[in-house]
Structure 1
Amino acid sequence: MKTLDLQEIRKQLDGIDHEIVSLFEKRMKLSGQVAEYKIETGKQVYDKEREQEKIRAVTGMVEDEFHKQAVRELYTQVMTISRHFQYKRMAEHGLKAEHDFRPVQSLPIKQARVVYQGVEGAYSHEAALKYFGEDGNIRHVDSWEDAMKEVAAGTADYAVLPIENSSAGAVTHNYDLLIKYRNYIVAETFLSVDHALLGLSEANEEDIQTVFSHPQALMQCSEFLNANREWKQVSVENTAVAAKKVLEDGDPSQAAVASEIAGKIYGLKVLRTSINHNKNNATRFIILSKDPVYREDAGKISISFELPHKSGSLYNMLSNFIYNGVNMRMIESRPILGRNWEYRFFIDIEGNLSDASIQNALKGISEEGSNMRVLGNY
């Protein structure tokens, strides 16, 4: 058999591609008719059994193992595209992802009751002051969960929780609390974090044997702290608690990693300034409310959903953003309690709940994922 030259091969490939595109358009037209039928009958777009049956059928048409895998991947994507097209058609008919959120022009923060975890001088306290102002009705509670409980019970209007640090990453426990309690993210604020080594007035850096702080703060200052290998590092509830402990214990061999503001509040001496290795260190704090509201000018949405431990499941879910032109800002995963190797994903995307592209993307995720929740639009 005579081998064709490259130009002839390419010419034949172009012809085949023309046929493929033509057939694809015909297939999508039929998918639109399927969408019309599902709109009339109230059926869901995602039909898992039908898709699995189709995959088995098309892979059975080829014998080569490489081609079987290729056909499986090809048709998985074809059906994914088909679903997105059907979601779009359904959204055009007003069938959107359901949520209880309502838009407001502004948040009622004047004289609001605000709670944060820790004691006075904690970074959460500083974040609360930054967002609500010096005259805010701000008080502390013992734990982040206590803050969530107060909001859920209505004894506080807002809670301020750290959720992410530019150096140490996610505050994972607080992601779990977002699922445990039905509170909603209504705003966020960013706080530059500059840790100092604090000790008693009579102490010197050479005297230090034990350093107390929050685990995140210890991590953010690990390069400095680990260079002093004889120092014992001990985790406490937060940085301000560490400063308060050093004062109350009165032991010059103890030091705290906390802010210089906390040092002033508790009368401690700054032994070393700016000990965090990332000088652009910042923490993102979320503001939570019991009410599912969002500002009309909100531009970020946080959602969560669950997926099985299965190849391609996350990719297929994220394609809901791709086909709707939605930009993803952050993704974080947490294991689901009692279900080994299954995960809950937390994602931040750009957009507003009133946007058609957002509604379409969320419709797809709500049908294809499990336990999808909109955690907030802010």
Structure 2
Amino acid sequence: MAALEELRKQLDEIDDQMAKLYEKRMEVCSKVGEYKIQSGRKVFDRTREKNKLLDVASKVSGEFNKKGIQELYQQLMSMSRKLQYQQLVEAGALGKLPFIQVDSLEKESARVVFQGVEGAYGQAAMQAYFGENVNSFHVRTFRDAMEAIEEGAADYAVLPIENSSAGAVNEMYDLLDEFENYIVAETIIPITNTLSGLPGADISDIQRVYSKAEALMQTSRFLDEQAHWQQISVVNTAVAAKKILEDQDKTQAAVCSAYAAKVYGLSVLVDEINNEPNNSTRFIVVTNQKIFLKEADKISICFELPHESGSLYRILSHFIYNDLSMTKIESRPIEGRNWEYRFFVDFEGNMAEPAVKNAIRGLREEARNLKILGNY
């Protein structure tokens, strides 16, 4: 035991020296930050950091120590950058962040678009946020809705982004990256799916079931029990209900809301067929204006990273260092680049807050193609 205590004492002495050297290193890094502010130089010098890692690895022996000291210096340099980003923000050198803070959205005079037809869950979400008397119109696809607000035909679009049981609506993530439209609000509504058919139809008559792909997933347990039923995807649950009415075929049914069934004169054959009883969908409110509400408390961003070990870990450290809580992360393949991905992150915060400014400054310099999708 005496030998162990002696070894621990040696470690404590070394750690004391390292702590003092760390403070000294950060003092020098602060001076480097001041120089970069005055000269307008970028904080992140990828080539210098790569060379530094090679240099420190050459000064130790053994593969374990080489990897270990490189990991240590990656953290040291990361902390140095974060200090310098903070200095830049304090000096007012945030860079372009052209989002305008507003007190409220113009709901009463707004023209709003939703995807689908009358009776769609998108319509329900729109009315939940803007009110039942909202001036609205509907389009066939998510892309049509994004184009409508980009072109100014509508002020806002209300579109689904995530379901509590089926997960992310992948197409929406791709469209948010593609279009210069921004999230300004969100609303969550409960989703209660039914199996609905023509009046007089019986569940034993059914051979084909139509609905949106996500709704078919949300009700898969019930549908899969009927092995002979053909499941066919359409663009919207209300579109499915409308098709049943138009086709007048008792062998067809729709997975849709009770409201959509009522709108199109269908009978509810089986109510509440969700896999999960507490199913809900998060809808986003999107506009072509770079604005955010004063009380906004969530930020959505997307970015790309170099395909190298630890790149995502290092980027996520900006949220940790600035005490920002990350609430969601998704990845989507980048078109035309096999096995490369774009990351979508939601985190808590408001763009007027210093911690958020610090994090965004670091993300801008270290990630590729950072885009702020909205603060809401």
Q: TM-score range by the shorter chain?
A: over 0.9
Aligned to 2:157, what secondary structure does the other structure show?
strand
Q: C-alpha deviations, 1:235-265, integer Å up to 9, x for none?
A: 0011001111111111111110000000100
The AA in structure 1 aligned to 2:11 is L
2:97 paired residue number: 99
2:182 paired residue number: 184
Which stretch has the larger CA shift, 92-101 or 140-149? 92-101
The AA in structure 2 aligned to 1:107 is L
Tell me, in whole angstroms, the C-alpha distance in 2 between the residues paired with 1:151 and 1:180. Answer: 13
1:358 paired residue number: 356
For the aligned residue pairs, the C-alpha RMSD in angstroms reads 1.0
Q: Write out aligned runs for 1:292-331 (5 A).
A: 292-331=290-329
Aligned to 1:339, what secondary structure does the other structure show?
coil
Aligned to 1:344, what secondary structure does the other structure show?
strand
1:7 paired residue number: 5
Q: 2:60 aligns with which of 62, 66, 69?
A: 62
Q: C-alpha deviations, 1:158-208, integer Å up to 9, x for none?
A: 011100111011101011111111111111110100100101111111111
The AA in structure 1 aligned to 2:336 is G
1:227 equivalenced with 2:225 (yes/no): yes
1:279 paired residue number: 277
The AA in structure 1 aligned to 2:65 is H
Tell me, in whole angstroms, the C-alpha distance in 2 between the residues paired with 1:26 and 1:340. Answer: 44
The AA in structure 2 aligned to 1:243 is A
Contact kept? 1:194, 1:259, Cα under 8 Å: yes
Contact kept? 1:246, 1:255, Cα under 8 Å: yes
Tell me, in whole angstroms, the C-alpha distance in 1 between the residues paired with 2:273 and 2:281. Answer: 16
Aligned to 2:113, what secondary structure does the other structure show?
strand
Tell me, in whole angstroms, the C-alpha distance in 2 between the residues paired with 1:100 and 1:7. Answer: 58
Tell me, in whole angstroms, the C-alpha distance in 2 between the residues paired with 1:138 and 1:53. Answer: 58
1:153 paired residue number: 151
2:336 paired residue number: 338
Aligned to 2:112, what secondary structure does the other structure show?
strand
1:172 paired residue number: 170
2:200 paired residue number: 202
Give 1:97 shift.
4.2
Tell me, in whole angstroms, the C-alpha distance in 1 between the residues paired with 2:209 and 2:274. Answer: 14
The AA in structure 1 aligned to 2:295 is D
Tell me, in whole angstroms, the C-alpha distance in 2 between the residues paired with 1:141 and 1:207. Answer: 32
Moved over 6 A (4+): none
Contact kept? 1:308, 1:343, Cα under 8 Å: no
The AA in structure 1 aligned to 2:15 is D
Q: C-alpha deviations, 1:57-105, integer Å up to 9, x for none?
A: 0001112111111111111111111111111111111111421111111
Tell me, in whole angstroms, the C-alpha distance in 2 between the residues paired with 1:330 and 1:194. Answer: 24
The AA in structure 2 aligned to 1:102 is I
1:236 paired residue number: 234
1:374 paired residue number: 372
1:50 paired residue number: 48
Tell me, in whole angstroms, the C-alpha distance in 2 between the residues paired with 1:115 and 1:48. Answer: 44
Give 1:341 shift.
2.0
2:248 paired residue number: 250
Contact kept? 1:97, 1:366, Cα under 8 Å: no
Aligned to 1:371, what secondary structure does the other structure show?
strand
Tell me, in whole angstroms, the C-alpha distance in 2 between the residues paired with 1:17 and 1:229. Answer: 66
Tell me, in whole angstroms, the C-alpha distance in 1 between the residues paired with 2:185 and 2:195. Answer: 31
Tell me, in whole angstroms, the C-alpha distance in 2 between the residues paired with 1:373 and 1:297. Answer: 21
Unpaired runs of 5+ residues, structure 1, are: none
Unpaired runs of 5+ residues, structure 2, are: none
1:135 paired residue number: 133
Q: C-alpha deviations, 1:27-66, integer Å up to 9, x for none?
A: 1111101101100110010000000010000001112111
2:83 paired residue number: 85
Tell me, in whole angstroms, the C-alpha distance in 1 between the residues paired with 2:97 and 2:333. Answer: 25
Aligned to 2:114, what secondary structure does the other structure show?
strand
1:214 equivalenced with 2:212 (yes/no): yes
Identity %: 53
Give 1:4 shift.
6.1
Aligned to 1:267, what secondary structure does the other structure show?
coil
Equivalenced residues, count = 376
Aligned to 2:59, what secondary structure does the other structure show?
coil
Aligned to 2:51, what secondary structure does the other structure show?
helix
Aligned to 1:135, what secondary structure does the other structure show?
coil
> What is the TM-score normalised by the length of structure 2?
0.98
